Structure 1
Amino acid sequence: MPGRKYFASLMVCLSLFMVSCQGDDKPPLPRYISTYQNSSDSPAIASRRPERRYFIEFRSRYALTYGHSYVIFGQLGANGQAITREVAGLAPATNDPLPYVLGHFIPVPAETGESDGDLEEEYRSASWRVVLTRAEYEKVVAHIRMLKAKSKVWLASVSNCNAFVADIARSMGYKAPSIYLRPQQFITKLRELNGG
C-alpha cells in the first residue's frame, strides 16, 4: 500500500532528523571574519578597502528549540561596522507553536525575512562574516532574492533553516555541512569547512 510506505519513510526521516538535533549548544562562540574566496588580504585590511565595503554574515542564534540559522548582509562603514543590513532565513510563517510542530511532519507556510531574536546580540550563538566587493555582494544578493522568492514552505527534515543557508553558501562556491546539525554546529562547521 503506497500510503503506508510513504508514512513509514516519513517517520524514518523524522526520526533521523530529531536524533541529529539532540545535544546541547555551547556558550556563544567568537565572531569570525574572512574575505571571500580566501583573498590574500587580512580581514582587517580588506574591510577598510573601498572595494570591500560589503558583507554577508552566516549566523545562528539560540531559541526555545534547537536554534535557528540565517544570514545578515549589507554595507560596511569605514570602521567595519554594518551601516545597512538585511536578514534572510527560512522559518515557519508564524510565532504559533502548532505550525512549527506540524512542520516536522508536513510542509507548513514559511517566511524568509527577519524573525524574532535575529538581531539581538544576546541570542547569537555563532557567526562567520565574509567581507565582499560590490560585485561579489550583488551576485550573492541576487541569489538570496531568488531563493526567498521560491521558498514558500518549511519542512524540518528537508527544507529547514540550515538548508536555506547552505544554498546561499554553495552559491558562493563554499562547501556546506549536513543540514541536520544544530544551527550553532552548522555555522561553525560551515566556517571550518571553508577555511574561515
Structure 2
Amino acid sequence: MTLAKGPLFLLVLTALALTSCQSDDKPPQPRFTSDASGSQVGKASQREGQYFIEFRSRYALTYGHTYAVFGRLNKAGGMINPQVAGLAPASADAAPYVLGHFIPVPATTGATDGDLEEAYRSASWRILLTEAEYNKTVAFIRQLQAKSKLWQATVDNCNNFVGEIAGSMGYKTPSIWLRPQEFITKLREMNT
C-alpha cells in the first residue's frame, strides 16, 4: 500500500506544478501604494525617510518570480539602498530549478537576477510602514531567511515565502500555486 501512495503522491505534486503554470502573464500591472491598513495613498503621503515593504513579481524565462523589497524612500519616493528577500533555487543553472519541481533543492533567500530591474517588474504592491512596523517585519524576514534552506515548486516556493511575510503582517494571502503576477495582484486585492 505504501508503494502505491509514493507514485500517486509524485503524480499529484507534478500535476500541481504543471497546473500552476497554465495561465499567461498580463502586461505589467499598475503600481499600488497603501498604508499598513490597506488604504491606498498617493505620492504626497510618501515622505523622505519613510519605511516601506513592496511585494513584487517579475517576468522571467519561466513563469516568473515573487519577492519582497524593503527599506526607506527618498524625497521623490525612490528606494534608498533597497534590500530584497525571496526564495529561489540557489543556482543560476537550470538543472536545480527543474529538479526542484519534484524534490526539494538548496535555496537562496536574497536578491536574484532581475529583481530590481524595472523592465522585468510585472506587478507590485508597496506598503508604507512606521518604524516599529518596519522593524517587526524585517525581524520576521530575517528569521524566515535563516530557516528557509530548500526550494520546492509545489510546496515551498517563492509565493509561499512572500505569503509568510504578508501573513506575519496580518494580511490574507492567496493560493501559493498562482503565477507570481497573479499572486501579487490577488494579495493586494484581498487586502485593500
TM range (shorter): over 0.9
Taking the aligned partners of 2:60 and 2:163, their CA distance within structure 1 comes to: 20
- Matching residue within 112, 117, 122 for 1:115: 112
Paired residues for 1:83-162 under 5 Å: 83-162=80-159
Taking the aligned partners of 1:117 and 1:84, their CA distance within structure 2 comes to: 16
Aligned to 1:2: 2
* TM-score, normalised relative to structure 1: 0.93
1:43–1:131 contact (8 Å) kept in structure 2:
no
Structure 2 spans left out of the alignment, 5+ residues: none
Aligned to 1:172: 169
- Matching residue within 49, 56, 59 for 1:59: 56
Out of 41-50 and 161-170, give the one that drifted further. Answer: 41-50
> Aligned letter for 2:24?
D
Alpha-carbon distance, 1:37 to partner: 1.6
Taking the aligned partners of 2:47 and 2:2, their CA distance within structure 1 comes to: 59
Aligned to 2:46: 47
- Deviating runs (4+, > 4 A) in structure 1? none
Secondary structure (helix, strand or coil) at the match of 1:85 reads strand
1:35–1:43 contact (8 Å) kept in structure 2:
no
Taking the aligned partners of 1:17 and 1:194, their CA distance within structure 2 comes to: 26
Structure 1 spans left out of the alignment, 5+ residues: none
Count of aligned pairs between the two proteins? 192
> Aligned letter for 1:148?
Q
* TM-score, normalised relative to structure 2: 0.95
Aligned to 2:17: 17
2:48–2:74 contact (8 Å) kept in structure 1:
no
